[in-house]
Chains A and B, each alone.
Chain A
Amino acid sequence: MKKEILLIFICLTIYNIAVSQVTPDIKDTTDTGRNVATEVDAIVINSIQEAQDERESDESGSSNYVPGLLHSSRDVYAGNSSYAFSIAYFKNRGLDNKYEEISMNGFLMNNLVTGRANYSQWGGLNHVVLYPETIFGLNAVNFTFGDIGGATNYIMRASSYRQQIRATYSLSNRSYNNRLMFTGSTGLLKNGWAFAASVSARFGNALTYVDGTSYDGYSYFVSAEKQFNKEHALTLTAFAAPTVRGMQGNSVSEVYDMLDDHYYNPNWGWYQGKKRNARMRSTHEPVIMLSHYYTPKSNKFLITTTITSTFGKNSTTSLNWFDVPDPRPDYYRYLPSYQDTTTEQGRAMAAYTRDQWLNNADVRQIDWDNMYKVNQLATQQGKQAQYMVENRVIDHILIGGSSNIVATLTDHIKLAAGVDIRGMKQRNYKTINDLLGGTYWLDVDKYSEGDFPEDANIIYNNLDEKDKQLSEGDIFGYNYNYYIYKQRLWAMFTFTYNKVDFHAGAEVGGTEYWREGKMRNGRFANESKGKSDVKTFLDAAAKLGVTYKITGRNYLTLNGAITQSAPGILNAFLAPRIRNTYVSNLKPEKALSGELSYIMKYPKVQLRITGYYAYIKDITKLISFYHDDYASMVNYSMSGIDQRHAGVEAGAEFKIGSMFAIVVAGNYGDYRYASRPKVVINAENGYDIPDVEQTVYWKNYHVSGTPQAAVTLGLKFNHNYWYVNINANYFNKIYCDLNPERRTSNARGTLDVNSELYHLIADQTVLSPKGEFTLDASVSKSWRIKRYTIGFNASVTNILNNKNLTTTAWEQYRFDYNEMNVNKFQNKYYYALGTTFYLGLSFSFN
Chain B
Amino acid sequence: MKYHSIKPLLLAAVAIWLFAACDQDVAPVMTYNGPKANCTIAQLLTYHEVGALDSYDSIPAGTVISGIVTSSDEAGNCYKFLTIQDSTGGIQIKIGNTALFHKYSVGKRIYVKCDGLVLGDYRKLHQLGWWDAGAVNGSNFGAMAAITPNRESEYIFRDGAPQHEPAPVVITAATQIKSEYYNCLVKIEAASFAMGGGANFSESTAATSRTLNIAGGGSVEVRTSNYATFASSILPEGSGAVYGILTRYNNTNQLTIRTLKDLQGFVSRADILTVDFSQNPFDNGWQQITATGSDSWQYFSNSMYHGFVIYGHTGSCSYLISPDIDAVPNMTLTLSHRIPDNLGNAAGMKLYYTTAFGGTINEADLHELTIPSYPSNEGTVTISLPSNMSSRYRLIFKYADSQTSTWYINGITVSGEVASL
Contact = CB atoms under 8 A, between A and B. Distances in A.
Interface stretch (A61-69, A255-263, A697-705): A697-705
Interface in B3-46: 3, 6-7, 10, 13-14, 17-18, 20-30
Contact of A753 (B6, B26, B99): B26
Given A692-B153, A748-B29, A611 B6 contact: no
Contacts of A644: 20
Contacts of A763: 24
A670 interface: yes
Contact of A596 (B3, B13, B98): B13
23 contacts: A554-B3, A556-B6, A596-B13, A598-B10, A611-B10, A646-B20, A647-B18, A672-B22, A688-B150, A690-B153, A695-B27, A700-B23, A700-B24, A743-B25, A745-B28, A746-B103, A747-B27, A748-B26, A749-B105, A750-B158, A750-B161, A818-B98, A820-B102
A749 B14 contact: no
A676 interface: yes
Contact of A646 (B1, B18, B158): B18
B398 interface: no
B162 interface: yes
Quick one: which of A554, A646, A749 has the most chain B CB within 10 A? A749
Interface string A393-425: 000000000000000000000000000000000
Sorting the interface of chain A by its residue count into under 10, 10 to 19, 20 to 34 or 35 or more gives 35 or more
A692 B150 CA distance: 10
Interface string A745-761: 11111101100000000
A421 B210 CA distance: 79
A762 B150 contact: no
A750 B151 CA distance: 21
A701 B27 contact: no
Interface in A747-806: 747-750, 752-753, 762-764
A803 B186 CA distance: 58
A214 B153 CA distance: 50
B108 interface: yes
A644 B16 CA distance: 13
Quick one: which of A554, A673, A698, A745 has the most chain B CB within 10 A? A745
A698 B99 CA distance: 24
Given A700-B24, A750-B105, A750-B162, 18 more contacts: A611-B14, A644-B20, A646-B20, A647-B17, A647-B18, A648-B18, A676-B25, A690-B150, A697-B27, A700-B23, A745-B30, A746-B103, A749-B102, A750-B29, A750-B102, A753-B26, A764-B24, A818-B98
Contacts of A207: none
Nearest to B97: A817
Quick one: which of A612, A648, A672 has the most chain B CB within 10 A? A648
A221 interface: no
Contacts of A646: 17-18, 20
Nearest to B30: A745
Sorting the interface of chain B by its residue count into under 10, 10 to 19, 20 to 34 or 35 or more gives 35 or more
A748 B150 contact: no
Interface in A648-700: 648, 670, 672-673, 676, 688-690, 692, 695, 697-700
A600 interface: yes
Contacts of A695: 27
Contacts of B6: 550, 556, 598
Nearest to B22: A700
Contacts of A820: 102
Contacts of A493: none
A643 to B, nearest CB: 13
Contacts of A745: 27-30
Contact of B99 (A554, A699, A818): A818
Given A745-B27, A746-B103, A689 B150 contact: yes
B25 A698 contact: yes
A670 B18 contact: yes
A744 B2 CA distance: 52
B122 to A, nearest CB: 25
A753 B105 CA distance: 15
A591 interface: no
A556 B26 CA distance: 40
Contacts of A613: 17
Nearest to A599: B3
A609 interface: yes
A701 B10 contact: no
Quick one: which of A647, A748, A750 has the most chain B CB within 10 A? A750
B151 A697 contact: no
- Give the 4 A-B residue pairs with the shortest CB-CB distance, closest first: A697-B27, A699-B25, A611-B14, A646-B17
Interface in A817-840: 817-818, 820
Contacts of A609: 10
Quick one: which of B7, B25, B150 has the most chain A CB within 10 A? B25
B102 A697 contact: no
Interface string A563-598: 000000000000000000000000000000000101
A517 B27 CA distance: 38
Given A611-B17, A692-B153, A550 B24 contact: no
Contacts of B13: 596, 611
Contacts of A818: 98-99
Contacts of A698: 25
Given A600-B3, A817-B102, A762 B26 contact: yes
A818 B102 CA distance: 8
A741 to B, nearest CB: 10
A837 B25 CA distance: 43
A690 to B, nearest CB: 5
Nearest to B149: A690
Contacts of B153: 690, 692
Interface string A60-95: 000000000000000000000000000000000000
Nearest to A548: B1
Nearest to A759: B24
Interface string B245-270: 00000000000000000000000000
Nearest to A554: B3
Contact of A697 (B14, B25, B103): B25
A676 B25 CA distance: 9
Contacts of B7: 598
Contacts of B30: 745
A18 B14 CA distance: 26
A709 to B, nearest CB: 12
Contacts of A752: 161
Nearest to A600: B3
Contacts of A753: 26
B336 to A, nearest CB: 31
B103 A749 contact: yes
Contacts of B17: 611-613, 646-647
Nearest to B15: A611
Interface in A546-565: 550, 554, 556
A490 B120 CA distance: 70
B30 to A, nearest CB: 5
A692 B154 CA distance: 10
A670 B15 CA distance: 11
A700 B25 contact: yes
Interface string A232-264: 000000000000000000000000000000000
A148 to B, nearest CB: 15
Contacts of B27: 695, 697, 743-745, 747-748, 762
A28 B161 CA distance: 73
Interface in A694-744: 695, 697-701, 743-744
A643 B338 CA distance: 77
B134 to A, nearest CB: 14
Contacts of A676: 25
A550 B7 CA distance: 13
A762 B26 CA distance: 8
A613 B14 CA distance: 9
A826 to B, nearest CB: 20
A630 to B, nearest CB: 10
A724 to B, nearest CB: 32
